[in-house]
Amino acid sequence: MQTKKIIVLISGDGSNLQALIEKLHLPKENIGASEIVLVISNNADAYGLTRAKDAQIKHLVISSDTDISPLEYDALLTVQIEKLQPDLILLAGFMRILGKPFVRQYGHKMLNIHPSLLPKYQGINTHQRAIDNAEKEHGASVHFVTPEIDNGPVVLQAKVPIFDDDNVAELSARVHTQEHLIYPLSAQWFLSGRLKLNAGNAELDGKCLAKDGYAPD
């Protein structure tokens, strides 16, 4: 079997990247199965770049901090992707909007992790908004990427409670812990051929997933 190639796009701390490295790149049983072949950051200061370096993973910056157009930016990403022909592209805290042509080209093999129970709280500041709205629960969602932002078919969600005296840092840490479990798992499903995007639906083992993703009874 050919080694499955993964490209990870990041912008910041890269704790999800770290979880992916530990589950899909470093383990002995993983050698020959999957490999993170490239990490791309749009932010030269992202700590995730250090994580990639420490794991001896090729990494590069395609900075957003220039006046190139969104289409030109996506074209630079495309060059890297076409060079390496990855099986899977993972957005792991990549805080940049990708253009529709790019997403149409790669959406069948591109997942994102978002810090909310989609379709609730699309966009940014999800933890603060959930606290402000006195939600009792919050969480994270893994979904296929579609041209509509934070709106693609959900693969897997994880819920966490919100306590009365929670602040953003506490809630964010709780959500991150779950993200580090559900993102590598979803990626594994995809790489093993169990998870697919079929006619706009997320399918696991040939069955269309529910709106909130895989949910065992």
Q: Which residues are catalytic?
A: 114
- Residue 130 makes contact with ligand GAR by CB under 6 A: no
| Segment 134 to 163, residues that bind ligand GAR, using CB under 6 A | 140
Q: Which residues contact 22 (CB under 8 A, 6 or more apart)?
A: 184
Options 23, 59, 114, 138; binder of ligand GAR; rule CB under 6 A: 114
| Segment 172 to 191, residues that bind ligand GAR, using CB under 6 A | 176, 179
Residue among 37 and 171 whose Cβ is closer to ligand GAR: 171
As measured in angstroms, the least distance from the Cβ of 82 to ligand GAR is 24
Options 93, 107, 139, 152; binder of ligand GAR; rule CB under 6 A: 93
Options 16, 42, 43, 157; binder of ligand GAR; rule CB under 6 A: 16
- Residue 14 makes contact with ligand GAR by CB under 6 A: yes
Helical ranges in the chain per DSSP H = 15-24, 47-54, 70-84, 100-106, 126-132, 168-191
| Segment 24 to 83, residues that bind ligand GAR, using CB under 6 A | 48
Q: Is 155 helix (H, G, I), strand (E, B) or coil?
A: strand
As measured in angstroms, the least distance from the Cβ of 117 to ligand GAR is 12
State the virtual CA torsion across 17, 19, 23, 26 in degrees, nearest 10: 60
Angle between helices 15-24 and 47-54 (to 10 degrees): 20
State the virtual CA torsion across 66, 67, 70, 72 in degrees, nearest 10: -90
Options 9, 77, 92, 195; binder of ligand GAR; rule CB under 6 A: 92
Cα–Cα separations (whole angstroms), residue 115 to 125, 150, 190: 9, 10, 20
Binding positions for ligand GAR, rule: CB under 6 A: 12-16, 48, 92-93, 113-115, 140, 176, 179
